[in-house]
Amino acid sequence: MNPQEDTGARNGGAPGRRPGRAYSAHFHLLDRQVVDREGRPVCKVDDLELAHDEHGRPYVTAVLAGPAALAPRLGGLPARWLAAVQRRMSVGGGGGPARIDFGRVTGIGPVLTVDLPEGAAGVHALEDWMRDEIVARLPGAGRASG
């Protein structure tokens, strides 16, 4: 993460993102739970999108989630299997990972907190489609709690 990018001004001085703080991507970000501002789970951090500043230092530009982001980290047969399943099961317009712009991260701690508009996560497109198109049509689905 680029310490110059993490000024606190960009995210309104949110707690958990101190100016000039360097983070370890492996320790502070990867495999962490991502929650929305209400504390509801959104996804897990499966990978990170990086860019380089004018001095060649890498910084995080996005959190990537889903099988398309996780598969390359696994390697070998499990990665090929996961990538193949993800390609076959993807819905909508893309087979790539879900992407959350890093500018939406408001806190880094035991979980990553993100500020997303209601319903804008789009992280689990297949799960959303199954809920709306399959499960919602089952008898009694309208009475289910949760």
Domains in the chain, CATH or no CATH each: 25-143 (2.30.30.240)
Distances from the Cα of 115 to the Cα of 18, 40, 100, angstroms: 17, 11, 10
Residue 109 identity? G
Measure the CA–CA gap between 21 and 18, rounded to whole angstroms.
Answer: 6
Give the model's pLDDT for residue 115.
92
Residue 95 confidence (pLDDT) above 60: yes
Measure the CA–CA gap between 132 and 92, rounded to whole angstroms.
Answer: 14
Residue 134 confidence (pLDDT) above 80: no
Tally the C-alpha atoms within 13 A of residue 24's C-alpha that lie toward its C-beta.
4
pTM of the prediction?
0.65
Give the model's pLDDT for residue 13.
41
> Who wins on pLDDT, 34 or 24?
34
* Percent of the chain surpassing pLDDT 90: 19
Residue 80 confidence (pLDDT) above 50: yes
Mean pLDDT of 81-107: 77
